[in-house]
Structure 1
Amino acid sequence: MVILGIDPGLANTGWGIIEERAGEVRCRAYGCIQTSAGSDLPVRLRHIADDLTAVVERYRPQEAAIESIYFGANARSAIPTAHARGAALVAVSLAGVEVGEYTPMQIKQAVVGTGAADKGQVIFMVRNLLHLDHDPRPDHAADALACAVCHAHLRRTGVLSGGTYVQKRGNGYS
């Protein structure tokens, strides 16, 4: 199973491709889509959608995982992230890829074992879980890989226990 993980952001959208076979997860590729703050919003969103479409066409993931938006203390800063997340969802949805959505806490819990993990702990565990010989950089790509690993783990747990742990909406976003 090939899984695309996405860490949405207007300036930086991280993506990561992992492959799961017989309970083992391996990294196939990762990167970060950067947009210029000087560009108009529609141009930036098109750039994100186009680049993610190219990633989907190249690696052909069967499923995708995307981080949900964390509003925290400043909901205003979440709006640009929401725009980027929407562009990412359109790109994978148009390709017919099912999407699981996860909170930052769920991702940290699945990868590190605690929802209170810091970025360094997430990067360390992503490196180890995916058998990498280096830290995945930038952080946005590492977060996207963590999201994909979370999806793989929760998907497998859901399949093994018969539960439903993944929020899938496929092409039917409402």
Structure 2
Amino acid sequence: MRVMGIDPGLTRCGVGVVEGRPGAPGTMIAVGVVRTDPEAGLADRLLALDDGLRALLDEHRPEAVAVERVFSQHNVASVIGTAQASGIALLAAARLGLPTATYTPSEVKNAVCGNGTADKRQVTTMVTRILRLKQAPKPADAADALAIAVCHLWRGGVKSRIAEAAASQAAAVAAAKERTR
């Protein structure tokens, strides 16, 4: 499975593409950052982010997109910008009909480090090891995006299978009720 992980940000939006399967190390396909001009107007920045993400989606053709879930910070302006960038990322994937998932920072840290309170250095170290990279990905936004992709690669398949099983069971229960009427 090929997964694009996105660490949303209005100025720097980390993007990492990983290919692999649950439980296996995986392979980094691409890593980078989509940047927007902090001096530009908000609408222009969101458009630039959308253009950049859409180009990367077209280039790398992931089967799924995973985005870091926005979490509360003390800086409200930062949260708003991150939420707007997250919305653009989810929209860009939805336009292509790609399945999407969101993960909290602690879910990502737990998936790649085994510790939901790991620091950025630990996450970068583990991503470098998991993907067998010769050097750590930089900047931190890019390393975080790879961690998000790995998290989905390892956990997303399980989540979707559980959801499919629950839907199948609900359909079977509904069919059984219908037969007894």
TM-score by length of 2: 0.85
Q: In 1, are the aligned partners of 2:66 and 2:152 still within 8 Å (CA)? A: yes
- The match for 2:87 is 86
Could you say what secondary structure the match of 1:132 adopts? coil
Between the aligned partners of 2:90 and 2:154, the Cα distance in structure 1 is 21
Aligned length: 162
Structure ID, larger Rg: 2
Between the aligned partners of 1:38 and 1:72, the Cα distance in structure 2 is 23
Between the aligned partners of 2:162 and 2:62, the Cα distance in structure 1 is 23
| Structure 2 residue 95 is matched with structure 1 residue 98 | no
- Residues 49-98 of structure 1: per-residue CA shift (max 9 Å, x gap): 11111111111101010000111333342001111111111111111111
- The match for 1:172 is none
Between the aligned partners of 2:78 and 2:2, the Cα distance in structure 1 is 32
Between the aligned partners of 2:88 and 2:131, the Cα distance in structure 1 is 27
Between the aligned partners of 2:93 and 2:22, the Cα distance in structure 1 is 25
Distance 1:37 1:76, change over 3 A: closer
The letter for the 1-side match of 2:18 is I
- Equivalent positions of 1:147-162 (< 5 A) are 147-158=148-159
Give the drift of 1:35: 0.8
The letter for the 1-side match of 2:122 is Q
Between the aligned partners of 1:5 and 1:22, the Cα distance in structure 2 is 15
TM-score by length of 1: 0.88
Between the aligned partners of 2:81 and 2:22, the Cα distance in structure 1 is 38
- The match for 1:163 is 162
- The match for 2:7 is 7
Distance 1:142 1:153, change over 3 A: same
Between the aligned partners of 1:77 and 1:23, the Cα distance in structure 2 is 34
Distance 1:22 1:38, change over 3 A: closer
Q: Percent identity?
A: 40
- The match for 1:120 is 121
Between the aligned partners of 2:49 and 2:37, the Cα distance in structure 1 is 11
- The match for 1:138 is 139
- The match for 1:71 is 72
Give the drift of 1:7: 0.2
- The match for 2:56 is 55
Which has the higher mean CA deviation after the structures are superposed, 74-83 or 45-54?
74-83
The letter for the 2-side match of 1:18 is V
Q: In 1, are the aligned partners of 2:3 and 2:64 still within 8 Å (CA)? A: yes
